[in-house]
Structure 1
Amino acid sequence: MQDPTQNEPPFTETWRVLILVPAMNEEESLPKLFAELALRAPEYEILVIDDGSSDSTAQLALAAGCALLRHPFNLGYGAALTSGYRYALRHGYDVVVQVDADGQHPPCEIERLLAPIRAREAEVVIGSRYREEEAGRNPYAGSIWRRLGATVIASIARLWIRKPISDPTSGFQAMHRKALELLCHGGFPDDFPDVDVLITMHRSGLRLLEIATPMRERFAGISMHGGFAVPFYFYRLFVVLMLLPFRRHSPYRKERQELGKKVAHQRQQLRNERKLPLPSAGEIT
Structure 2
Amino acid sequence: MPAFNEASVIADVIGNLRATFPNVVVVDDGSHDDTPALARQAGAHVVTHPVNLGQGAAIQTGVEYARKRPGAQVFATFDADGQHQVRDVVAMIERLGHGDVDIVVGTRFAAGPPTGVPILKRIVLKTVAALSPTSRKLKLTDAHNGLRVFNRTVAGDLDITVNGMGHASEFIALILENGWRVAEQPVEILYTDYSMSKGQPLLNGINIVFDGFLRKRLPR
Give ranges in structure 2 of 5+ residues lacking alignment. none
Give ranges in structure 1 of 5+ residues lacking alignment. 1-20, 249-285
Letter in 1 for 2:15: A
Residue matched to 1:83: 61
* Deviation per residue, 1:15-53 (Å, 9 max, x gap): xxxxxx1111001111221232233x14x3111110011
CA distance in 1, matches of 2:80, 2:74: 19
Q: TM-score, normalised by structure 2?
A: 0.87
Q: Do 1:28 and 1:220's aligned partners in 2 also have CA atoms closer than 8 Å?
A: no
Residue matched to 2:45: 67
After superposition, the Cα gap between the structure-2 partners of 1:57 and 1:213, relative to the gap in structure 1 and judged at 3 Å, is same
Residue matched to 1:206: 180
Q: How does 1:20-169 map to 2 (within 5 A)?
A: 21-39=1-19, 41-42=20-21, 44-92=22-70, 93-133=72-112, 139-157=114-132, 162-169=137-144
* Deviation per residue, 1:51-103 (Å, 9 max, x gap): 01111111111111111101111011011001111112222411111110001
Q: Do 2:73 and 2:152's aligned partners in 1 also have CA atoms closer than 8 Å?
A: yes
Letter in 1 for 2:214: V
Q: Do 1:97 and 1:173's aligned partners in 2 also have CA atoms closer than 8 Å?
A: yes
- Higher RCO, 1 vs 2 (CA within 8 Å, ≥6 residues apart): 2
TM superposition shift of 1:132: 4.4
Q: Do 2:169 and 2:209's aligned partners in 1 also have CA atoms closer than 8 Å?
A: no
Residue matched to 1:196: 170
**Is residue 2:152 matched to residue 1:172?**
no
Q: TM-score, normalised by structure 1?
A: 0.69
* Deviation per residue, 1:200-234 (Å, 9 max, x gap): 22221111111111110147252334464443443
* Deviation per residue, 1:85-123 (Å, 9 max, x gap): 111222241111111000100112111111122121211
CA distance in 2, matches of 1:105, 1:223: 14
* Deviation per residue, 1:171-214 (Å, 9 max, x gap): 00001121122223xx5311121123212222211111111111
After superposition, the Cα gap between the structure-2 partners of 1:149 and 1:214, relative to the gap in structure 1 and judged at 3 Å, is same
Q: Do 1:131 and 1:213's aligned partners in 2 also have CA atoms closer than 8 Å?
A: no
Q: Do 2:25 and 2:62's aligned partners in 1 also have CA atoms closer than 8 Å?
A: yes
CA distance in 2, matches of 1:48, 1:159: 29
After superposition, the Cα gap between the structure-2 partners of 1:239 and 1:31, relative to the gap in structure 1 and judged at 3 Å, is same
CA distance in 2, matches of 1:117, 1:247: 31
Task: Give me the CA root mean square deviation.
Answer: 2.3
After superposition, the Cα gap between the structure-2 partners of 1:209 and 1:247, relative to the gap in structure 1 and judged at 3 Å, is farther
Size of the alignment, in residue pairs? 217
CA distance in 2, matches of 1:117, 1:99: 16
After superposition, the Cα gap between the structure-2 partners of 1:247 and 1:175, relative to the gap in structure 1 and judged at 3 Å, is farther
